[in-house]
Copies of this chain bind each other. A is one copy, B any other.
Amino acid sequence: MFAQTFCQVSISRICCVHKEWKANLLKKIDNYRPTLADVAAEADVSAMTVSRALREPGRVSEETRNRINAAIEKLGYVPDPAARTLAAKRSDIIGVIVPSVTNSVFSDVMNGIYSVAENTPYQIQFGNSHYSPIEEERLLRTFLGQKPVGLIVSGIDQTPTSKALLEKAPCRVVQIMETAPDPIDMIVGFSHRDSAVAATRHLLDQGYKKPGMLAARMDPRAQRRVEGFRQVATERGRWNEEAVVMTPARSSVTLGGHLMADLLSKVPETDAILCNNDDLALGALFECQRRGIKVPEDMGICGFNDLEMMAAAYPSLTSVRTFRSEIGKQATHMLLAALSGEGPAEMMHDVGFEVIARQSTQRRPG
Residue of A185, A282, A309, A354 most packed against chain B (CB within 10 A): A309
Chain A 317-348 per-residue mask, 1 if CB under 8 angstroms from chain B, else 0: 00000000000000000000000000000111
Are B5 and A195 in contact (CB-based, < 8 A)?
yes
Contact of A167 among B27, B282, B289 (CB under 8 A): B27
**In the complex with contacts A5-B194, A5-B195, A14-B82 CB distance below 8 A:** no
- A13 vs B181: C-alpha distance in the bound complex, in angstroms? 8
Determine the residue in chain B with the shortest Cβ distance to A258. Answer: B312
Contact of A101 among B111, B168, B198 (CB under 8 A): B111
As for how many copies of this chain the complex holds, the number is 2
- A256 vs B313: C-alpha distance in the bound complex, in angstroms? 11
- A290 vs B125: C-alpha distance in the bound complex, in angstroms? 44
Are A308 and B82 in contact (CB-based, < 8 A)?
no
Determine the residue in chain B with the shortest Cβ distance to A358. Answer: B1
Are B146 and A24 in contact (CB-based, < 8 A)?
no
Chain A 1-14 per-residue mask, 1 if CB under 8 angstroms from chain B, else 0: 11111110100011
- A81 vs B252: C-alpha distance in the bound complex, in angstroms? 39
A82: chain B residues within 8 A (beta carbon): 81-83, 85-86, 91, 146-147
> Is A75 in the interface zone, CB < 8 Å from B?
no
> Is A144 in the interface zone, CB < 8 Å from B?
yes
> Is A229 in the interface zone, CB < 8 Å from B?
no
- A232 vs B147: C-alpha distance in the bound complex, in angstroms? 56
- A97 vs B282: C-alpha distance in the bound complex, in angstroms? 32
Min distance, Cβ A305 to any Cβ of chain B, angstroms: 13
- A14 vs B78: C-alpha distance in the bound complex, in angstroms? 42
Residue positions of A touching B, CB distance < 8 A? 1-7, 9, 13-14, 17-18, 21, 24, 27-28, 31, 78-83, 85-86, 91, 101-102, 104, 107-108, 110-111, 114, 118, 123-126, 128, 141, 144-147, 167-170, 179, 181, 183, 185, 190-191, 194-195, 198, 201-202, 252-254, 256-257, 279, 282-283, 286-287, 289-290, 308-309, 311-314, 346-350, 352-357
The 7 A-B pairs of least Cβ separation, nearest first, read A82-B85, A253-B309, A253-B312, A254-B312, A286-B314, A7-B350, A78-B145
